[in-house]
Structure 1
Amino acid sequence: MAKPMTKTQLVAALAEKMDADKKTAGAALDALTDIITSEVAEGGAVTLPGVGKFYCRERPERMVRNPATGQQIQKEADKQVKVTVAKALKDSVNS
């Protein structure tokens, strides 16, 4: 398995694709991250065509088990960030 791309490598690749400098590409990446974070935190969803959909799902209160002791405890309701991968990306990986 290949090593994951770092942010520095992603910024460099983005700058090359945009024909821009790394500072501009880094600012674009940071802006995109901020937009996705704020929208999902407010309960919305963001779809990146060809990549996937980022959204927040609320989980109800539930019983969980402590694996060390086996004790059952009540866990409060919480939120979980989910990502659904786009079919186009799945198809390109599997072809």
Structure 2
Amino acid sequence: MNYVELFKALSNKSRLQMLEWLKEPELNFPEQLVAGFEHGVCVGQIQAKAGLTQSTVSEYLSILQRAGFIESKRVGQWTYYKRNEKAFTALSELIESNL
């Protein structure tokens, strides 16, 4: 993926918020504490916190996933998302070495 696409994925306030929330899921999604965060955060929890339509949240998560910033896992009928910390390390290195 090219640099422009990576930065486009980060150029939306709601998508940035989602990434911030996923950085500390225990603090940001207390409703899911009982189920745990082994697989990530359920998309329904992200949608509820964002206050956006399901289709908008799905599109935003898809953009972030294509850019490599998050990973998804399907468990039964639920989809869970978590940050891909390696992508943030690579982005940091990219900025440090090229920009």
TM-score, length basis structure 2: 0.30
| Greater Rg over alpha carbons, structure | 1
Larger fraction in helix: 2
Structure with the largest fraction of strand: 1
Q: Which has the higher contact order (CA 8 A, sep 6+)?
A: 2
